[in-house]
Chains A and B, each alone.
Chain A
Amino acid sequence: MRKPAMPIPSPFQSSIAKPGQGKVVLSLLPPNNPTLTTLTYKYPLKLVPRTGGFVPSPDSSALSDTCPSNPVHLYLLTYGGGLLPGDHIEVSITLEPRTRMVVTTPQGSTKIFKTTPNNNGTSPNVIKGHRDQMPANKSLSDMSQQTLDVNIGRQAALCYLPDPSVPFKHSRYAQVQTFTVDATAKGAERSSLCVLDWVTQGRTSRGEDWDFHFWRGRNEVWAEDDKGKRRLLLRDSVILDDESEDLQDTSIPDGLEVEKKDKTYSNTTHAGLENPVDLPPQAPVGLTPLNIIAERTRPHGVVGTLILSGPVFEALGSFMLKQFQSQPRIGSRNWSDHAPSSVPEPSLSFKGNVTWTAARVRAGFVLVKFGAKDFETAKHWLGGLIREEGSVIREFGEEALCCL
């Protein structure tokens, strides 16, 4: 079988200047030979391609008439399997027309290590000495960041089903994933993408329950025409912020001090109010609950989004919509009925403790949002649905689902 030719990554690459940056270009050389014409990366990022793994059989591929090329598998790795405060991973991937790529994270979840407000000897920044080139802005330097920029050409397809990100207690993380598709391609020639973005409550084995400071995940799909004019097609943005910085003097980045202030603030506010009689005296929904993020994600231990678009994932998108619409109706009884016999609502959800919704939004995008009680539940549910439908495995092979 033809295998994509691999360039030898040069340690002297000058185009990659900053740590954590990586660049990949996948081209289709004639007649039908996917080749990584660029592959560069720098510590702490590592990009490992795996080639010749899966060959879609011409019969089973739904789009065999367009002669899809073999998918190239790219592993996204970071040293230590996670991100330290101040790490900034920046990956740029270009998929030239008619190429296909599978991106996964073989290290398991993306661990977001904790941010230490005061850099004492125990912080990981000091252990890994050369990673702590801190910018002037303190809150930015505390943050782990990851940007992924993927350009998907005409008839090209990206299948990106990574492990969830697991933010540790007190961590800060921001992720921006931008996908650019060809605006001039129509119908079956459109670019295709399947992107999963999910986040868990942390290390449940250590009792973490949404105990991080900040997690932001933003996924954008832009259409760009041949003149370079860009238009936003889809933006999915989730912000999980414990809002501990709100009451903080920017000059004193001291975690303990903040917590103290937080408490006094909430106490005085509650005491000083003339609470209306209807309000519970110290409601758990008061002004500053102990854990805002947990309050806003309850009862879920993991939340996520799956974005599907383009001809390659059309079948999967329709399948998800059909599954969603065929879920049992909620509350065939009068919903305002306070009957004590009511069963816990999640049991009505399809296949276990997953609350989810699917919608065909605009430009043919199918957006699936879900919440589940834990990672395993979500994984089995989503993996089960994608396997049951089968087109991802037919087009990209079982390895595309290695994280599910």
Chain B
Amino acid sequence: MLIQDTQDLEAEVILLESRLQDARAQLAASEYPSPPSSWAPKEQYNTNNKPTTSSASLHALLLLSDSALPLGSFAYSSGLESYLAHNKPSRTAPITSFHRFLKLSIASIASTSLPYVLAGYRQPSTLDTLDNDLDASTPCIVAQRASIAQGRALIGVWERAFRVSFARPENPASGDTAVAATAIDDLSDALKSCLEEDEDLGPKGHFAPLWGVVCRAMGLDLQQTAYVFVMNHAKAVLSAAVRAGVMGPYQAQNVLASQVLQDTMMKRIAREWNTPVEQAGQVVPALDLWVGRHELLYSRIFNS
């Protein structure tokens, strides 16, 4: 048994090393030759020839992309509500106006938050610094509240639901995920021991870096992590659009399924793939204004 285990572990190490090399090679190539096809999950699993990894990560992927994941994302419109109030859509093209917002919103989340997701995945041990730096980079209270609330909810889901299944020592690739699990625990402890009123600069639990770390702890690869992050954002905005009366549920699914949305997301992910967190920034200055002015709305149905 022991020998068998050791062999398995060795095989695992070789596999991980080869994946690390692949990842490094991808990292080194700063541009995607053909982004949409270059990292289709299928290919990777075929080359890996490890159906177990595939199904485990597929399972995690489905869990994390579920809109029933209790993060409270439904409470936030990411500025859509304020955008609609500031840009009254003309009678003819409310949908056009919404498409503009969706595109701007995806570009913005990719340029401001995605680098933190990727950094959280790549270096889970720097989670506390990432958390501090993202807090320092969030320019308004409304966005800050939304990010912190969802980040803390994610910690809650991890601790109460996912950790039991994903942070077991017998789990394959546990060495890889253990670092991430430890990082989440450390941040969680820091959050609990920190009294908010006297520590203005304490740990906050921002969503983006935590997302990267949790995805790593659950065995997703980096591309899946980035894609599901942006996709969840798009889903949240579209869901808000349905509830704000911009479009119907079928239209929303239509947009979600569309090739245009996929291409937009892929393009933004490819752009920010190698962006260091220091270089992250707002590419849509108008969006900061809309989100910040959400507080001025006379009536609100969302928290952001």
Mark A residues whose CB is within 8 Å of B: 216, 218, 231-241, 243, 246, 269, 273-280, 283-285, 287, 295-298, 300, 303, 305, 325, 327-336, 338, 340, 342, 345, 355-364, 367, 369-371
A276 to B261, CA, bound (A): 11
**Chain B residues, Cβ within 8 Å of A369:** 139-140, 285, 288-289, 292
B296 and A330 within 8 A (CB) = yes
A232 to B89, CA, bound (A): 40
B91 and A359 within 8 A (CB) = no
B245 and A336 within 8 A (CB) = yes
A276 to B263, CA, bound (A): 14
A273 to B259, CA, bound (A): 7
A273 and B260 within 8 A (CB) = yes
A362 to B140, CA, bound (A): 10
B85 and A370 within 8 A (CB) = no
B283 and A241 within 8 A (CB) = yes
**Chain B residues, Cβ within 8 Å of A325:** 295
**Interface stretch of the complex, out of B4-12, B49-57, B93-101, B209-217:** B93-101
A240 and B259 within 8 A (CB) = no
B139 and A359 within 8 A (CB) = yes
A233 to B95, CA, bound (A): 40
- CB of B15 closer than 8 Å to a CB of A: no
**Chain A residue nearest to B202 in the complex (CB):** A362
B293 and A330 within 8 A (CB) = yes
Over the window 279-299 of chain B, the binary record of Cβ atoms lying under 8 Å from chain A Cβ atoms (1 yes, 0 no) is 111111110110011011111
A-B pairs with the 8 shortest C-beta distances? A357-B292, A237-B281, A329-B298, A285-B100, A303-B285, A235-B137, A239-B281, A296-B284
- CB of B258 closer than 8 Å to a CB of A: yes
A-B contact pairs, 7 of them (CB 8 A): A232-B132, A295-B100, A296-B104, A338-B88, A359-B139, A359-B140, A362-B200
- CB of B264 closer than 8 Å to a CB of A: yes
A234 to B138, CA, bound (A): 8
A235 and B133 within 8 A (CB) = yes
**Chain A residues, Cβ within 8 Å of B136:** 232-235, 362
Given contacts A275-B260, A277-B254, whether A296 and B89 have CB atoms under 8 Å apart is no
**Chain A residues, Cβ within 8 Å of B257:** 276
- CB of B59 closer than 8 Å to a CB of A: no
A345 and B100 within 8 A (CB) = no
**Chain A residue nearest to B108 in the complex (CB):** A296
A239 and B283 within 8 A (CB) = yes
How near does chain A come to B148, taking the closest CB pair, in angstroms?
11
Range for the number of chain B residues in contact with chain A: 35 or more
A371 and B289 within 8 A (CB) = yes
A234 to B132, CA, bound (A): 9
Over the window 124-160 of chain B, the binary record of Cβ atoms lying under 8 Å from chain A Cβ atoms (1 yes, 0 no) is 0000000011011111110010000000000000000
A287 and B263 within 8 A (CB) = yes
Given contacts A278-B247, A359-B140, whether A216 and B281 have CB atoms under 8 Å apart is yes
**Chain A residues, Cβ within 8 Å of B296:** 327-330
**Chain B residues, Cβ within 8 Å of A363:** 200-201
**Chain A residues, Cβ within 8 Å of B138:** 361
A335 and B84 within 8 A (CB) = yes
A275 to B260, CA, bound (A): 8
**Chain A residues, Cβ within 8 Å of B279:** 237
- CB of B244 closer than 8 Å to a CB of A: yes
**Chain A residues, Cβ within 8 Å of B163:** none
**Chain B residues, Cβ within 8 Å of A342:** 88
A333 to B91, CA, bound (A): 17
**Chain B residue nearest to A327 in the complex (CB):** B296
How near does chain B come to A375, taking the closest CB pair, in angstroms?
15
How near does chain A come to B67, taking the closest CB pair, in angstroms?
20
**Chain B residues, Cβ within 8 Å of A283:** 96, 99
**Chain B residue nearest to A218 in the complex (CB):** B281
How near does chain A come to B246, taking the closest CB pair, in angstroms?
8
In B234-286, the 8 Å CB interface with A consists of 244-247, 251, 254-255, 257-260, 263-264, 267, 271, 279-286
A246 to B30, CA, bound (A): 11
A296 and B107 within 8 A (CB) = yes
A227 to B258, CA, bound (A): 54
How near does chain A come to B267, taking the closest CB pair, in angstroms?
8
B133 and A269 within 8 A (CB) = no
How near does chain A come to B129, taking the closest CB pair, in angstroms?
8
10 other A-B residue contacts (CB within 8 Å) besides A237-B281, A336-B84: A216-B281, A231-B132, A278-B247, A285-B96, A331-B85, A335-B297, A356-B289, A357-B289, A369-B140, A369-B285
A295 to B103, CA, bound (A): 10
B139 and A284 within 8 A (CB) = no
How near does chain B come to A87, taking the closest CB pair, in angstroms?
21
**Chain A residues, Cβ within 8 Å of B177:** none
A237 and B297 within 8 A (CB) = no
Given contacts A235-B136, A345-B86, A357-B292, whether A331 and B100 have CB atoms under 8 Å apart is no
How near does chain B come to A226, taking the closest CB pair, in angstroms?
17
- CB of B304 closer than 8 Å to a CB of A: no
B201 and A331 within 8 A (CB) = no
**Chain A residues, Cβ within 8 Å of B133:** 232, 235
Which of A238, A279, A303 contacts B281, CB < 8 Å?
A: A238
B286 and A330 within 8 A (CB) = no
A361 to B132, CA, bound (A): 13
**Chain A residues, Cβ within 8 Å of B297:** 329-331, 335
A259 to B142, CA, bound (A): 39
A210 to B68, CA, bound (A): 42
B87 and A359 within 8 A (CB) = no
- Which residue, A240, A330, A360, has most C-beta atoms of chain B within 10 A? A330
**Chain B residues, Cβ within 8 Å of A296:** 104, 107, 283-286
A239 to B287, CA, bound (A): 13
- CB of B111 closer than 8 Å to a CB of A: yes
